[in-house]
Amino acid sequence: MKAYHGKESLKQEVLAELKAHYEADNFIQGDYWDGKKGCAVGCLLKSGNHIEYEERFGIPVYLAHLEDAIFEGLSLADSKNWPLRFMSAFEVGKDYSGVVWDFLRWLLLDFLLPQIKNEGKIYDDVRTSIKGVADVLEKDTADVAYADADAAARAAASAAAYVYTAAAADADARADAYKIFADKLIELIKEI
């Protein structure tokens, strides 16, 4: 799968559309598309059918789900910049199908695992389980079911945000977690 199906003109069309939505203040959280305004996915697709990212833009569906999850978790101000930032990060013609595995490994090992600080057998078991899942992600991912990758991407972002905000349990802490996720995902996309 090649980003923007290898066409710079397609990327420029997408970015122009997102810029127009940004300037019209059409990005809203909590609704895919209301006919005029919507989320990161909705404004681009005019629906919530994430699979269209692959069909129309050559970007894996699970990255569309991550974009969506991050958009909904960011502060309102940061969410409005996210769609253009996300879609701008992809280089025309590159294959980004492995990014989700890199993101999930980072999320488990570098973000989530350090959050589990309590001592005791149950916490040791959780840490061992997290490391075991990360080990699976290190292996050849070609055999992993496509739907599993998609579901894992969405669930991992939610779980990590929950763990991150469990102590503080406020919207600002949640938005901060999603800002970290956004920055890391862009970093991983740019490394391809």
pLDDT in tens, 22-78: 999 999 999 999 999 999 999 999 999 999 999 999 999 989 999 998 999 899 999
- Dist CA 20 CA 37 (whole Å): 12
What pLDDT band is residue 156 in, cutting at 50, 70 and 90?
A: low
How confident is the model at residue 42, as a pLDDT? Answer: 96
- Amino acid, res. 120: G
- Dist CA 118 CA 63 (whole Å): 32
How confident is the model at residue 177, as a pLDDT? Answer: 86
The alpha carbon of 75 is separated from its chain's Cα centroid by a whole number of angstroms, namely 15
How confident is the model at residue 167, as a pLDDT? Answer: 42
% residues pLDDT > 70 (the chain): 74
Q: Are 68 and 41 in contact (CB under 8 A)?
A: yes
| Per-residue pLDDT at 153 exceeds 70 | no
Per-residue pLDDT of 106-151, as tens digits, reads: 988 888 888 777 766 656 776 676 776 666 666 544 445 555 555 5
How confident is the model at residue 11, as a pLDDT? Answer: 98
| Per-residue pLDDT at 86 exceeds 60 | yes
Q: What is the pTM of this model?
A: 0.82
Tokens matching residue 188: 């991983």
| Per-residue pLDDT at 155 exceeds 70 | no
- Dist CA 70 CA 178 (whole Å): 6
The radius of gyration computed from the CA coordinates of the chain, to the nearest angstrom, equals 17
Neighbouring residues of 112: CB distance < 8 A, sequence distance ≥ 6: 130, 159, 160, 163
Domain boundaries, the chain: 3-88, 99-191
Q: Are 14 and 57 in contact (CB under 8 A)?
A: yes
How confident is the model at residue 138, as a pLDDT? Answer: 66
How confident is the model at residue 154, as a pLDDT? Answer: 56
- Dist CA 95 CA 191 (whole Å): 12
